[in-house]
């Protein structure tokens, strides 16, 4: 009886401390991720232009956004994978020891499971919100950078420029194409060192490619309609 009474308060304190730590962690994650995106939004109010809106200027803020997104994904994955195992091991421990949890409302195994499940669901909801918001902000600002550079592709030569120097091993990309490729490369260079989950990184790049293709297609349609209106037949 003495060993049971000494272990019972420990379980309650552990649960309470875990809840306090979890809430503090989630609050820091949420405020940190959202704070960075708000600062980035306020810093990009000037009109879009190649000179004023560059990928190089976005990189410092995007690093912070992707940092929070990467870590939130890992925390979310950890909770999703480990919470069921934790619940199972906790149930087995309580059944083996017959331990109650007097510091929790109800003082029963069911109340402990309910509190643990509620905290886990709250944690996953907050982390999912942070991941989604960070993802949206990341692709939004990279897309704005692409939006400035992509239209010039329709005016540049479609093939690589021949390199006449003997030391040059490969043809050079047209400058307009090089700007677009450098944005993709800069995004990839951000995703890799921050260890963003491969599936999330693939979705980021897939969205950027989709945006680029859609924008160029719409530009071509608009350009074709304009030329048709100017032609004698269009008149």
- pLDDT over 80 (residue 101): no
Q: How large is the average pLDDT for residues 155-176?
A: 65
| Alpha-carbon gap, residue 111 to 67, rounded angstroms | 36
CA 92 to chain centre: 37
Per-residue pLDDT of 8-27, as tens digits, reads 333 333 344 445 545 655 66
Domain positions in the chain are 2-158+170-230
Per-residue pLDDT of 133-144, as tens digits, reads 889 989 998 999
pLDDT at residue 192 in the model: 93
Number of residues that make up the chain: 235
Nearest to 195 by CA among 66, 107, 91, 109: 66
Which contiguous run of DSSP H or E holds residue 46? none
CA torsion, ordered 66, 67, 70, 73, to nearest 10 deg: -110
- pLDDT over 90 (residue 186): yes
Nearest to 138 by CA among 189, 64, 53, 44: 64
Q: Which residues are CB-contacts of 167 (< 8 A; sequence separation ≥ 6)? A: none
Which of 50-59, 60-69, 116-125, 130-139 is least confident? 50-59
DSSP class of residue 94? H
Is the full-model pTM beyond 0.95? no
Please give the full DSSP string across 148-195, using - where no structure is assigned. HHGGGGGTS-SSPBPP-STT--SPBPPHHHHHHHHHHHHHHHHHTTTT
8 Å CB contact between 154 and 216: yes
Q: How large is the average pLDDT for residues 17-42?
A: 56
pLDDT band for position 194 (50/70/90)? very high
Please give the full DSSP string across 109-134, using - where no structure is assigned. HHHHHHHHHHHHHHHHHHHHHHHHHH
């Amino acid at each position: 009886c003495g060993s049971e009474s000494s272990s019972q308060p420990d379980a309650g304190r552990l649960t309470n401390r875990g809840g306090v730590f979890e809430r503090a962690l989630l609050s820091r994650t949420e405020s940190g991720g959202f704070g960075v995106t708000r600062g980035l939004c306020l810093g990009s109010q000037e009109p879009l232009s190649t000179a004023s809106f560059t990928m190089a200027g976005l990189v410092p803020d995007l690093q912070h956004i992707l940092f929070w997104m990467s870590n939130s994904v890992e925390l979310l994955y950890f909770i999703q994978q480990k919470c069921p195992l934790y619940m199972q091991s906790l149930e087995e421990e309580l059944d083996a020891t017959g331990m109650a949890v007097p510091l929790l409302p109800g003082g029963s195994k069911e109340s402990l499971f309910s509190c643990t499940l509620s905290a886990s669901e709250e944690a996953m909801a907050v982390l999912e919100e942070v991941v989604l918001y960070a993802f949206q902000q990341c692709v939004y600002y990279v897309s704005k950078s692409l939006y400035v550079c992509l239209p010039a592709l329709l005016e540049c030569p479609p093939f690589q420029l021949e390199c006449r120097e003997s030391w040059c091993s490969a043809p050079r990309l047209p400058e307009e194409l090089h700007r677009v490729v450098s944005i993709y490369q800069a995004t990839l260079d951000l995703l890799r060192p921050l260890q963003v989950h491969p599936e999330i990184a693939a979705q980021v790049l897939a969205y950027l490619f989709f945006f680029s293709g859609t924008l160029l297609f719409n530009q071509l349609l608009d350009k074709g309609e304009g030329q048709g209106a100017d032609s004698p037949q269009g008149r």
